[in-house]
Chains A and B, each alone.
Chain A
Amino acid sequence: MNVFVTDVGYGALVIGLLIAAYTAVAAASGAMKGYPELLRSARNGVLVAFGLTTISSAALVYAFFSRDFGVKYVTQYSSRDLDPIFTFAAWWAGQAGSLLLWAWVLAMFAMIIVVQNKEQNRRLLPYATSIMMALLAFFLLVMIFAANPFERLPVTPADGEGLNPLLENFGMFFHPTTLYIGYVGFTVPFAFAMAALITRRLDDQWIRSTRRWTLFAWFFLGLGNLFGAQWAYVELGWGGYWGWDPVESASFMPWLTGTAYLHSVMIQQRRGMLKVWNMLLIIITFSLSIFGTLLTRSGILSSVHTFAQSAVGPMFMALIGVLLVFSIGLLLDRLALLKSENEIDSFVSREASFLLNNLLLVGAAFAVFWGTVFPLISEAVRGVKITVGPPFYNQVSAPIFLGMVILMGICPLIGWRKASTENLIRNFLYPLAGAILVAAALYFALFKEWYAILAFWALAFVMLTITLEFFRGARARHRATGQDYLSALGALIWANKPRYGGYIVHIGVIVLAIGVAASQFYSASVESNLQVGDSLSIKDYKVTFLGLSQYQTQSRHVISAAVEISQPGQKPFRMNSEKLFHKEHENPTTEVGIRTTALEDLYLILNGWENDGSASFKVLVNPMVVWIWIGGVILLVGTAVAFWPDARESRRFVAQQAVARREAVVPGV
């Protein structure tokens, strides 16, 4: 039975490859030659490809649940005592399974696109489908020839090697999946952009059709990064949430360029400008998504040897090469058709400020990319291996991010075409003055460091511009309709969801940035070896060591240290930090103790212990970390608002439909 299931799974991969390749060709040639039969066939091909990847995925999940250790992948990433929830998540714990998840999500998105566009985008859809199916074929090819999740071992072991204990966390559910949804999601706008280039239909139809997909992909990529940060914070036990690990950088880069794209398409929709730039941005973003998958899943960074041993890395490099040559070549060929419909009127305008914002976002992505590849460059030029780690990224990106924050205050409110002095004063005078007051207050009450003052000044400025904008809108509505302020605010947001959703997202980013700035600038740490009854002090906390205890669970041996925390004027409370020793794994993992308040987190790490019963701790106080997660939630709310169907948009859609029907009646138009 087991062998049969995995054979079916593998067979579905092979047939899936054939179907995907056929569909890619059928959709493109059907559109080129105008054969409706071929297009119908391609449509069905997409559905079948989704069905087949679903069968493969189900087979792999079944192999995990039936503990089929004859399958190498199952042996590597699970064991008999693995919790059912994590047995499911083991699907994407390794390279081959991750690729299968990627392929499955891609096939699912292709299916949704096909169903969604039954009545619209008839000219763009076949090419977009073709591109997505070609990509699916690539992923299936990689699995079949280089990373087969169904590969069987010559001898079936009695038990598996188990899942890496660090992965046994709910982060394992949310972090990889959201990240992959983000990566794969960018395929859709990319495919439509290429379809627009191929068909020479270069109005903003392709942008409008993919607005939600872009937002969706961008949001999930951001969420994936945040989940990763949260996971690192609670599970990895080093007191931080972002370590500028190359894999983290890999998922941050497409998010940055995706953010740039999300903003600059607004200029194209509104003013018919920046067409070439938008094409370039989506090409870069998508290529970085593939690059991210490559970095995460090929082992290129952890060790050069694993990269060379597996064919996965070179195949992905080849894919990125082909993608870039194809898309840039196509773009160059159609350059003449991408002439801007308008020109910029003034340096002091929304268009110019958006350009600047784009420049900084892409610049930040470039800085991260440069840091990621610089070790290779150094080795090639000087023959010396060096490291580019957190201090580099923090120092280089700080001024860029500061500029970005300031622009976040300016961009949405500066006038289109040419901002009048009146517009500038109206929107920026109060926020600027308010932010200076905030900075002054911080300087006298809390801290003196100029860089922190500057950062919080910028954050306050943006927050005030947005607040003022909300207030003015609500007040205008209140005066016009007599609604109270709160319902006026609600109605305001509801009346223009993309715009106000965007503002809410900005608030989320600012709140998140406040958390990042505070915890980066003012975290404190103490390391100390304590006898039972001894205490250490950090900020106004007194941490007293109460003693060690140990206990056994099914798969691990746990050493637990208890401490009592007291603060002047507060009731003392207890906290624990544990070291977990796992059966199959040599290195113990740490379960940290975290006590969160709105102002700061107290973070307790048990480092080790001696035979005399003493234990060594590292205790950190990380200010305002909780605001990073709260900012993430606000981001979610804002994106949902922007995503929500909009009355104006649906009216526009009906009008489009009417045009499309007229086009269909008059042949050759």
Chain B
Amino acid sequence: MFRILALIRLLAPIHSLTLIVAGPIRSLALIVAGLALFIFPTVALADTTQVDAISNELMCQCGCTMVVTSCECSTAAQMREVIQTQLGEGKTKTDILQYFVGQYGEAVLSAPTKEGFNLTAWITPFVGILAGLGLVYLILRAWLHHRRQVVQEVLPRFQADLNVYNDRIERELELYS
């Protein structure tokens, strides 16, 4: 029995199961639920997340500047219903998004498409950062290069000074020891 339960737990997405009923009824419910899930892999929850996934890519048209998933106005509810219906008709995500673009224009999409001129929207921030990175690298390299030159110029003089001091230390050590 335990093994069956464990199997069911493995088979069924835990979050979609009702695991609260006590005792033997609970086991029975689990088996039934598990079988149901096994036979009908798409339950209501899966639909909702799919609706969420699509409505996240659409802006609500009530003027709220929120995505359809988030807005709770009637416009958003209607749009979610349309998505639900079209999913039921077997349409794909692309079809449904295309349908809304046809209805409201490209502004209904919550992010620019990744094609054509819109690609600049996606790429520019990273181009900017990379350009900045390049600039920082060049500046640092120039600094480092300059520094090395200075060190090369100064080092012999520094070494000469150091020799003078070393000699003096030696002399004084001899003198006082």
Contacts and interface: CB of A to CB of B under 8 A. Distances in A.
Given A238-B70, A374-B121, A388-B112, 7 more contacts: A238-B66, A346-B144, A366-B125, A386-B118, A538-B15, A567-B20, A607-B72
A496 interface: no
A389 B136 contact: no
Nearest to B132: A359
The 4 closest A-B pairs by CB, nearest first: A389-B110, A367-B125, A363-B129, A238-B70
Contact of B105 (A239, A371, A385, A390): A385
A194 interface: no
B59 A387 contact: yes
Contact of A568 (B19, B52, B121, B122): B19
A246 interface: yes
Interface string A562-574: 0000111000000
B110 A352 contact: no
B86 interface: no
A363 B134 CA distance: 13
Contacts of A29: none
A362 B132 contact: yes
Nearest to A340: B143
Contacts of A608: 77
B16 to A, nearest CB: 6
A396 interface: yes
A219 to B, nearest CB: 26
B14 interface: yes
B150 to A, nearest CB: 8
Interface string A358-394: 0110110011001100110010011011111111100
Contacts of B49: 525
A452 interface: no
Contact of B129 (A359, A371, A381): A359
B108 interface: yes
Contacts of B136: 355-356, 359
B121 A371 contact: yes
Contacts of A378: 112, 117-118, 121
B67 interface: yes
Given A344-B140, A537-B18, A605 B72 contact: yes
A537 B70 CA distance: 20
A356 B133 CA distance: 8
A539 interface: yes
Query: Which bracket fits the contact residues of B?
Result: 35 or more
A433 interface: no
B125 A370 contact: yes
A237 to B, nearest CB: 6
B173 interface: no
A343 B71 CA distance: 53
B15 A360 contact: no
A472 to B, nearest CB: 30
A528 interface: yes
B124 interface: yes
A596 B57 CA distance: 29
A605 B73 CA distance: 13
Given A363-B132, A386-B106, A396 B15 contact: no
Main secondary structure of the interface of A (DSSP, over half): mixed
12 contacts: A240-B70, A245-B66, A343-B146, A344-B147, A355-B136, A355-B140, A386-B112, A392-B122, A527-B51, A528-B44, A535-B18, A542-B18
A343 B107 CA distance: 49
B111 A392 contact: yes
A566 B143 CA distance: 65
Given A239-B70, A370-B124, A400-B129, A391 B56 contact: yes
A396 B70 contact: no
Interface residues of A, number: 62
A618 B52 CA distance: 11
A164 interface: no
Contacts of B144: 343-347
B17 interface: yes
A256 to B, nearest CB: 12
A524 interface: yes
A243 interface: yes
B110 A390 contact: yes
A450 B105 CA distance: 35
A524 B66 contact: no
B157 to A, nearest CB: 19
A537 B147 CA distance: 67
B90 interface: no
B92 interface: no
A351 to B, nearest CB: 9
Given A363-B128, A382-B117, A526-B48, A568 B112 contact: no
B149 to A, nearest CB: 11
A663 to B, nearest CB: 33
Nearest to B51: A527
B57 A391 contact: yes
A371 B120 CA distance: 11
Contact of B107 (A381, A386, A568): A386
B106 A238 contact: no
Contact of B45 (A240, A526, A540, A618): A526
A607 B126 CA distance: 40
B20 A590 contact: no
A107 B62 CA distance: 39
A347 B45 CA distance: 52
Nearest to B65: A245
A467 interface: no
B22 to A, nearest CB: 9
Contacts of B133: 356, 359
B109 interface: yes
A406 B110 CA distance: 29
A246 B19 contact: no
Nearest to A349: B140
A301 to B, nearest CB: 8
B70 A387 contact: no
B165 to A, nearest CB: 24
A587 to B, nearest CB: 7
Contacts of B109: 386-387
Contacts of B51: 527
Given A525-B52, A527-B48, A237 B117 contact: no
Nearest to B76: A238
Contacts of A387: 59, 107-112
Contacts of A384: 105-106
Contact of B20 (A355, A392, A566): A566
Interface in B39-91: 44-45, 48-49, 51-52, 56-57, 59, 63, 65-67, 70-73, 77, 80
A135 to B, nearest CB: 30
B148 to A, nearest CB: 10
A587 B73 contact: yes
Given A362-B132, A374-B121, A238 B72 contact: yes
B76 to A, nearest CB: 9
Nearest to A544: B20
B132 A389 contact: no
Contacts of B63: 302
Scoring B16, B72, B112, B128 by chain A CB atoms within 10 A of each residue's CB, the highest score goes to B72
A345 B112 contact: no
A382 B121 CA distance: 13
B147 A389 contact: no
B137 to A, nearest CB: 8
B77 A540 contact: no
Interface string A613-628: 0000010000000000
Contact of B140 (A347, A360, A391, A528): A347
A538 B65 CA distance: 28
